[in-house]
Amino acid sequence: MRPFTGFLKMLTLDELEKLHDNAVSLLENPGMKIENEALLKSLSRAGAKVDFEAEIARIPKKLTDEIIALAAAEEKERMAAFSGSDFSETDIENKLTYSWHSPFRNSAPKIEASFGGGAPLFYDHKKGINRYATKDDFINMVNLAQALPEIVTVGNAVHYVKENDGSDLAPKMVAIKGAALVAKHSSKPGCTTIIDRRQLPYLMEMGRIVKGSASRYIKSPVFVNIHDTETLLRLTRPEAAIIEAMAKNNLCISILPMPLVGISTPIFPVSAAIVGTAEILAVWAAVKTFNNNCAVEANCVSGVLNPATGTACFAAPEAVMADLAVGQLFRQKYGVPCGLGVGLIDAPVPGLLSVYERIFKSTASTLAGEPSFPVGIIGGAVVFSMEQVILDLDIAANQRQLIKGIGQKHFDSSLELIRERGIGGLFIDTRHTAANFRDNLTFRHALINLKSTSVSEAIAKDPVQAAHNRCIQLLENVKPYLIDEDRERAIDEVVNRASEELSALTGAME
């Protein structure tokens, strides 16, 4: 069925042009600080004015326009293979599937979500606390993903930072050991948050072991990074080094700026849209001039100043407006999808606030034509909750049903069925209802509709407790995935080698 159309637009066509012009103008003056010599040299060769001592590139409009055209052509080529067909976002080659973004293609997108984000804390429902995750917590997270068909990839949604005995992992081994657990216990590995370029070779080697060959790995890379810029207009040395290393290996570069209204941008929400757009285009320019064959993607996750605390807030309407403006620009003018910040909400624990914030952000994104199905990340991307995963999947079920739209062939059949029953007729006991209710009604596991005024019944069916019970049930019944012994041994060898070489490193990240 054709999905609904007539999407919400934050900006008029004239305003869309102003957003583009302002972002491009920012890249010309003052430019972008890119703390990486190789990327600066590639920009310089392409016509940017580079101050190598200050590490600032001033990127001319002509070059920016060329990069946008390249990205649009790349997206068109990607989609050509799927013209007229329904497909999964995971089908696209060399794409960092994060599944916080599932744009309309030819039909309403399936619910395809990912465990990712690298949250440092794990929500412990039994104890009612947020704490650092242990190895067992991490494996439970992986097994929950294995049990849920809607989860298409799993990475380090929460960092595995402590052993079960409470001892700490070496910081440079967190991503390595987490990826190894995913490799050995999941049939659907995904992205891994990297903090140092020197982690990449080990993660790539594990990815090739999992995929079975280098050629299969490059078609659908795993255990690689999505990158953040540092607003205002800066790509830091560690992130730039990781981007350079990934670009050398022809891996897709996905950039995710986080402009903060009233903190790192002026207090106007549109200023965050200008900065977010500029930072994406600057990184794309650096990547494409460095390696023209390297695929590029983008997300924008805006935040705003919380005047009560002085900290950043990601679920405010001002943040949503900024993201929607960037998404509209990329979709409508550039012909390229750009994920929005639906994945980041502020509620520190699953509950009323987390449900409200997720529904608010995901509904706005859906109405704008950029449906997203993020799961599990709360607390401003600092906390991962298995219970929130279940709540988020219930919300996603509602969103997808809305996206599907109504009408089409059902008009004629509806008329016939209504006439068949006649005035005063009921349909609850018909074969038609029995045969079609599963395809036409929404079913949820935690956010259940209660047709009751009973307070005790409502308390007994608390959504968070229901979500927790669902997690326990899934973990008790899931068939754990175990990779074959040869590949498990090979992965362990990579981890041991990384431990010897990375744990000995001291000093700043590279």
The pLDDT score that the predictor gives to residue 99 is 40
Residue 462 sits in the same domain as residue 378: yes
Contact status, residue 157 vs residue 136, Cβ threshold 8 Å: no
7's CB contacts (< 8 A; 6+ apart) are 367, 368, 369
The pLDDT score that the predictor gives to residue 457 is 84
Q: pTM for this structure?
A: 0.93
Residue 379 sits in the same domain as residue 486: yes
Confidence check: pLDDT of 459 > 90: no
Q: In this structure, what token pair is assigned to residue 265?
A: 């941008």
Decide if 250 is inside a domain: yes
Residue 251 sits in the same domain as residue 335: yes
The pLDDT score that the predictor gives to residue 95 is 62
Decide if 314 is inside a domain: yes
When comparing pLDDT for 224 and 67, which is higher?
67
The pLDDT score that the predictor gives to residue 102 is 44
How far, rounded to the nearest angstrom, does the alpha carbon of residue 352 sit from its chain's CA centroid?
Answer: 23
Residue 327 sits in the same domain as residue 373: no
323 three-state secondary structure: helix
Confidence check: pLDDT of 2 > 60: no
Q: In this structure, what token pair is assigned to residue 69?
A: 């055209």
- pLDDT, tens digit, for every residue of 345-391? 999 999 999 999 999 999 999 888 888 889 999 999 999 999 999 99
Residue 181 sits in the same domain as residue 272: no
Residue 425 is part of a domain; what is its CATH number?
A: 3.20.20.480
Question: Which residue range(s) make up the domain with 280?
Answer: 1-76+227-339
The DSSP 8-state label assigned to residue 169 in this structure reads P
* Mean pLDDT for the stretch of residues 170-182: 94
Widest CA span in the chain = 82
Decide if 81 is inside a domain: no
- Residue the block writes with tokens 């990375």: 502
Q: In what order do the strands lie in the sheet with 234-235?
A: 49-51, 56-58, 32-34, 234-235
Decide if 92 is inside a domain: no
Q: Of 318, 339, 360, which marks where a domain is finished? A: 339
The DSSP 8-state label assigned to residue 127 in this structure reads T
Which of 151, 121, 113 lies closest to 138 in space, CA to CA? 121
Decide if 364 is inside a domain: yes
The pLDDT score that the predictor gives to residue 368 is 87
Which of 447, 458, 320, 441 lies closest to 389 in space, CA to CA? 447
Residue 203 sits in the same domain as residue 239: no
* Mean pLDDT for the stretch of residues 462-468: 96
Residue 363 sits in the same domain as residue 495: yes
**What average pLDDT does the chain have?**
91
The pLDDT score that the predictor gives to residue 38 is 98
Q: How many domains would you assign to the chain?
A: 2
Decide if 11 is inside a domain: yes
- Residue the block writes with tokens 């590639």: 42
Q: Of 289, 304, 339, which marks where a domain is finished? A: 339
Reported as a pLDDT band with limits 50, 70 and 90, residue 103 is very low
Q: Percentage of the chain surpassing pLDDT 90? A: 74
Decide if 506 is inside a domain: yes
Residue 283 sits in the same domain as residue 379: no
The length of the chain, given as a count of residues: 510
- pLDDT, tens digit, for every residue of 187-212? 999 999 888 999 999 999 999 999 99
Decide if 82 is inside a domain: no
- pLDDT, tens digit, for every residue of 384-427? 999 999 999 999 999 888 888 787 788 989 999 999 999 999 99
- pLDDT, tens digit, for every residue of 206-257? 999 999 999 999 988 999 888 999 999 999 999 999 999 999 999 999 999 9
Residue 253 sits in the same domain as residue 328: yes
Contact status, residue 121 vs residue 379, Cβ threshold 8 Å: yes
Residue 216 sits in the same domain as residue 231: no
When comparing pLDDT for 172 and 129, which is higher?
129
Residue 170 sits in the same domain as residue 213: yes
The pLDDT score that the predictor gives to residue 110 is 81
Residue 267 sits in the same domain as residue 321: yes
Q: Of 339, 366, 385, which marks where a domain is finished? A: 339
